[in-house]
Amino acid sequence: MKKTLLFLVSSFLFCGFSFAQELSDGHDRSNPADTPPIVFYNEGKMAVADVNSPTGKGTMYIQGSFVAGQNADKTSCNIKMVGYSKTILTGDFINNVNTTEASLHKTLFTLPANPNDITGKFVFAGNAEQRITTTRAAGAYPSKETNYIAFPDVEVNNNKHVVVSSNIAMDVDDLHLEKGWLILNSKKKANNDETVLAHLNVKSATYNRTSGTPADRGAVEVRLAVTSEGDPDPLINSVTGDDSGKSIVGLGSPYEKLGADYFMYNTLFMPTPEGYMGKTHITNPNDQLSAGGGYVLGIDLRGTDTTYYRLPNDDTGGILTDRFNARAHKGHYFNRNRFSTDGVRKYNNMFGASGAGYNDENLNTGDVGGIELRPGYNFLSNPYTTPIDLTDLTISSAIVNSDWGVKISEKENDAPHVYAQYWVLAPNSNAKPKEAKIDTPMLYTYNYFYGAGTGGTVVDDIIAPLQMFCIWVEDATPTMTIPAKAKERKDVAFWRSEKKKQRKDDFIIEIRDKETGTIDRVSLVLRTAKEIADRNYSDVERMISSAEVNEKSGMMKSSTKTDILQSTASQIYTRNSEGVALTGEFLPLETKKSVMLYDTPSAVEQDIVISCYRLESKQEAEGIWLEDRLMDVMVELTPETPYETHSTPTDREDRFVVHFTKQMGMEEDVTQALYAYYNESRVTVKGFAQADFGNELYLYNLQGSKIGQAKINDNIVYVNQYLVPGVYLIKTTGANAKTVKLLVQ
């Protein structure tokens, strides 16, 4: 039986004991430099307490590293610090606890039940860089949801700084930055669509901004990894004919205000209700990103050759190489103290901010209010360094949500301030220059996952720190608040997340490109026709645009809602009767036994994997079957058996069909879906199968007059005909005769 070791310490020094006479291993323990490390195992409770005095008598010093749950059978740790107790650590803090059992102490520290009680203080006071990390192998990291470190108060007193690893989550009551920086690290994952950030949930923070050198001043440095070595060069690839681009990400400020000078020689957009990417990018280094606002960032979108860049607001071109090389080129370190003595950046008007710039870099800890909204799309962000829960934004109510300060509803007749839905920029969004010339327009291909009470292509309503999200504002309202109570402890990465919810016949189909590492999703929800009518369910159009933006002139043009331009990422969607691409569709149980899953294939030949999420929500649907019409196979999608196949850039868009099964068995009748659109005096009709070949297609106006005709000899049929705005009918002949409505605007 293991013994319980309980330390009630009045004053205790962990720096080696002077008992060299009793040991003969060659170490002189009276000499601290020759003292071997001490491994301290805590088999039970450990307490450091002096509840009556703030003078520091209840102090434990640990010279070296602190390991929680180091050996295999140590899955829990229970450290209690109360009153004015203090623990001072000079080495690394290593969290090796890894358990999901609710009965065990997963958070390392046991804090007072009364939140008003004094909790004690954990001090990082080394003379070299200290880390808060884990030494567990990848795949066995402590869960940020269940194994986060619930510190009491924390003090940073080390001008060599304290680095929090990207796989660590920590809670802190009060953060005291006396000397040095607390650095929240970030790492881009190998799968190319996620960035992992260290999570910090803090109630309050104080900063020393007056004494010593910049390294001595107290600050929190927030890092955000965006690109990696080996990412494609969009300029080179566009010249060689490859359609590759570089990633663009949606982000916000973790501070009350963040200077735009961090992003000089990057591409930073502030989206507007009129344009998802914004019509001009931010070039003034004196601009500031406000807490709660959403922005879109791209790094090295024109490659790394200064030939294709110019100074902000300068018509002469000609960037000095040393200044250009000082830009952020893999990601960002948000911390003015790090760059305060960098002369090169000051030449660029980068980081040479006044004292006010330093004072604005306060972590957002409480409610972030005063966010102005306008009718249309509004782009916001998680302003905290810990995840937040957006579930409230999907819950319809006839009254104002007191936490968010707005009325949220999914019904038009409620005249909501905010529609009960949100969007998150998807990881397959990218950009590239149109040509290898200075000031040539940029081509942006972007897509959004959306969250809703029913349906949605995000599996979770929890979004990562700094993540941008978008809402639709129906009516103008003065301001909105992002409440601190929305903060969550979850294992969620930047750009997307995973979690299951209680739903009914509510499925997500996902396509993953194995080589380029990007994903896309579509939501399919089964409901009765009466439910769809009563709940006012409406399909969700694919909020995607292949926008062409001239960054100098601010001109922007976008594709139509029926055009899905090919990019390096596979793109899946359904279509309504007018051919509009949908990212979410409600399907009537009575009549819809299958749905065409359109796939605009990647411009890169590669293997793809198609999966189905939320299969646990099956009620009316017995299963989800995927038909691959190119390979002539039918497979059932289960959590254990996704469908893997090969994709080429010339694959047909109507390659896949999703079938829903019921108790009576598989439904085999697949109705071929057609869609049509009009552009520049030509009608395009897509979706024909080989069985249609040889039949006729006729174009009629609403008066019944035939105004166009063509023979069906391919999957796509064109009719050259000038049309005035209005509604037209397209009819086909043959055994599978169809009628399609065409709206010309």
Q: Mean pLDDT in the chain? A: 76
Task: Check: CB of residue 585 under 8 Å from CB of residue 524.
Answer: yes
Read off the pLDDT of each residue in 444-462 and give the average, rounded to a whole number: 78
The residue ranges of DSSP E strands in 321-459, in sequence order, are 331-334, 368-372, 376-381, 388-389, 400-401, 406-409, 418-425, 430-433, 442-446, 448-452
Per 3-state DSSP, the chain is made up of helix, strand and coil in percentages (nearest 5) of: 10, 40, 50
pLDDT in tens, 346-381: 544 444 444 556 788 999 999 999 999 988 888 999
- The ranges assigned to domains in the chain are 8-225, 231-332+343-499, 501-671, 675-744
Helical residues (DSSP H) of 150-295, grouped into ranges? 234-240
Q: Summarize pLDDT for 38-94 with one digit per residue, the tens.
A: 444 554 555 555 556 665 556 777 777 777 764 444 555 667 777 777 889 999 998
Chain-centroid distance, C-alpha 91: 33
477-531 per-position pLDDT tens digit: 678 999 999 998 876 665 433 333 456 888 989 998 888 777 888 989 988 888 7
What is residue 719's predicted lDDT score, i.e. its pLDDT? 94
State the Cα–Cα distance between residues 324 and 312, nearest whole angstrom.
Answer: 12
Q: Which long-range contacts (CB under 8 A, 24 or more apart) does 354-360 make?
A: 355/209, 357/259, 358/209, 358/217, 359/209, 360/255, 360/256, 360/257, 360/258, 360/259, 360/288
Q: What is the 3-state secondary structure (H, E, C) of 5-30?
A: CCCEECEEEECCCCCHHHCCCCCCCC
- Banded model confidence at residue 456, pLDDT cuts 50, 70, 90: confident
Q: What is the pLDDT of residue 19?
A: 22
Mean pLDDT of 556-583: 75
Q: What whole-number distance in Å separates Cα of residue 470 and Cα of residue 480?
A: 13
Element of type H or E holding 346: helix 343-347
Q: What is the pLDDT of residues 189-230, one digit of tens each?
A: 665 556 789 999 999 999 998 878 888 999 999 999 887 655
Looking at the DSSP assignment, which residues form a beta bridge with residue 594?
659
Q: Which of 433, 720, 435, 445 is nearest to 600 (CA)?
A: 445
pLDDT for 338 beyond 80: yes
Predicted TM-score (pTM) of this structure = 0.70
User: What is the distance between the alpha carbons of residues 459 and 503, in angstroms, rounded to a whole number?
Assistant: 11
What phi and psi values does residue 248 have, to the nearest 5 degrees?
A: -115, 145
Contact 712, 723 (CB under 8 A): no
Residue 594 has pLDDT above 80, yes or no: yes
270 touches 295 (CB < 8 A): yes
Q: Residue 27 has what pLDDT?
A: 38
Q: Write down the architecture of domain 675-744 according to CATH.
A: Sandwich (2.60)
Radius of gyration of the chain (CA): 29
